[in-house]
């Protein structure tokens, strides 16, 4: 339990004790509403909300299963939408079990909530796919709003018939339906075998809604800035932009940036497959999207302050976790501070060319053995005065980190 609390979307274990031969645990309090309450207050979930929920919870389960733990009781009351950032938090590991080997638990106590729990749980066996089944049931409940979920289960054919209970005014893609149907297969072997497999299936879906909804006031502001006062024409304005405090704009952009989830999935999968060069380019793509810029467009130092903290911190979190704290903006920031913000010394430490070169990106070491702080690269930076970008992004990252810690204390 203590190790699980290291994940930002699992309550931290604060203490535990025994009394009257019973074990008690004290966990972090999560301010928010359960998925069950959210359904009652806001109505059934559409495809965008379901896909975002799947992404978030699957990311948690990927971590949980990696720690060889199975939750065994995933259901709407056990997922809280945290008030401060609207992220789902997985709670109540009271019936969780440790995996005895890489695949399943045998002779486990038959626990779980009926209809949410996978059939094999009531036969004393549980697999990672059992948690995925429960997540699938949770999703179809949120999509249909059918409180008597047993009515959506065909006991004679051992299958879910949830499709016919979806509200007529809501349309779900065939791709999402296929993913949910596979999560809900009766036989464990016919389901996805890991959270990663489901994430890959989600990533392969087209995402027109996610892409179009990224257009927002922040993106418009960035585009207008680029159009009317380009840095090449007015360098004084570009310098001034570095000093503008855009926190109020950034903070109001949380809802739109949270929809970048499908692209975060791709970044995670690329790093997991050790395709660091592709991951570096995907990082550039996400930064561009967060600013409303075309993919592959260079980012001026004055635009760095426009990057939402949520995006910057999420990208960094993905890189640091995938590299075991070897790569990421936070690692680069620490190195930059350690050399007294000397750009040449920094480049020497991370093995970057300190000068402008057309072959810069090809000269990088895109392997897990590259020196600490080597990645992600500066390929996204506009111009040749790269020390400006490093100075600004270091300042921006420190500011975002401070904001994140302040919010966590509230």
List the catalytic residues.
Answer: 73
15: which strand partners? 26
Q: Are 115 and 44 in contact (CB under 8 A)?
A: no
17: which strand partners? 24
Among the listed residues 38, 30, 116, the one whose alpha carbon sits nearest the alpha carbon of residue 74: 116
The set of residues, in sequence order, having a beta carbon less than 8 Å from that of 130 and lying 6+ positions away, is 70, 72, 117, 118, 120, 121, 188
DSSP H or E run through 280: helix 276-291
Q: Sign of torsion, CA 27 33 35 40?
A: positive
Burial class (CB in 10 A: 0-12, 13-18, 19+), 156: exposed
CA 376, distance to chain mean position in Å, is 18
CA 66, distance to chain mean position in Å, is 16
Q: Are 299 and 225 in contact (CB under 8 A)?
A: no
CA 153, distance to chain mean position in Å, is 31
Ramachandran angles phi, psi of 256, nearest 5°: -80, -40
Return the SS3 of 409. Answer: helix
Burial class (CB in 10 A: 0-12, 13-18, 19+), 383: middle
Ramachandran angles phi, psi of 114, nearest 5°: -55, 140
């Amino acid at each position: 339990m203590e190790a699980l609390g290291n994940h930002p979307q699992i309550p931290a274990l604060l203490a535990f004790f025994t009394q009257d031969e019973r074990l008690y645990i004290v966990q972090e309090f999560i301010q928010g509403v359960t998925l069950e309450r959210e359904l009652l207050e806001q109505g059934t979930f559409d495809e965008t909300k379901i896909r975002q929920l799947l992404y978030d919870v699957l990311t948690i389960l990927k971590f949980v299963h990696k720690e060889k733990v199975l939750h065994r009781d995933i259901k709407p009351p056990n997922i809280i939408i945290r008030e401060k950032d609207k992220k789902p938090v997985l709670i109540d590991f009271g019936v969780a079990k440790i995996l005895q080997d890489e695949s399943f638990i045998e002779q486990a106590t038959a626990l779980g909530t009926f209809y949410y729990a996978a059939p094999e749980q009531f036969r004393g066996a549980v697999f990672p796919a059992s948690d995925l089944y429960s997540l699938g049931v949770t999703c179809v409940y949120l999509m249909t709003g059918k409180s008597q979920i047993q009515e959506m289960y065909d006991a004679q054919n051992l299958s879910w018939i949830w499709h016919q209970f979806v509200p007529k005014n809501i349309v779900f893609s065939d791709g999402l339906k296929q993913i949910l149907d596979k999560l809900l297969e009766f036989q464990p072997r016919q389901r996805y075998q890991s959270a990663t497999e489901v994430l890959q299936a989600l990533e392969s879906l087209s995402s027109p809604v996610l892409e179009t909804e990224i257009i927002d006031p922040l993106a418009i502001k960035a585009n207008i800035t680029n159009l009317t006062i380009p840095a090449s024409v007015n360098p004084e304005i570009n310098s001034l932009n570095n000093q503008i405090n855009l926190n109020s704009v950034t903070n109001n952009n949380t809802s739109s940036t949270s929809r970048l989830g499908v692209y975060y999935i791709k970044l995670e999968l690329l790093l997991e497959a050790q395709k660091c060069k592709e991951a570096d380019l995907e990082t550039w793509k996400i930064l561009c999207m967060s600013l409303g810029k075309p993919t592959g467009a260079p980012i001026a130092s004055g635009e760095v302050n426009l990057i939402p903290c949520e995006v910057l911190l999420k990208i960094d979190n993905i890189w640091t976790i995938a590299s075991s704290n070897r790569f990421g903006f936070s690692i680069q920031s620490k190195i930059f501070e350690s050399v007294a913000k000397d750009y040449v010394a920094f480049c020497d430490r991370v093995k970057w060319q300190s000068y402008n070169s057309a072959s810069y990106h090809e000269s990088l070491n895109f392997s897990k053995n590259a020196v600490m702080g080597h990645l992600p690269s500066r390929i996204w930076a506009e111009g040749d005065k790269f020390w400006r970008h490093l100075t600004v992004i270091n300042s921006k990252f420190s500011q975002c980190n401070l904001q994140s810690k302040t919010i966590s204390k509230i």
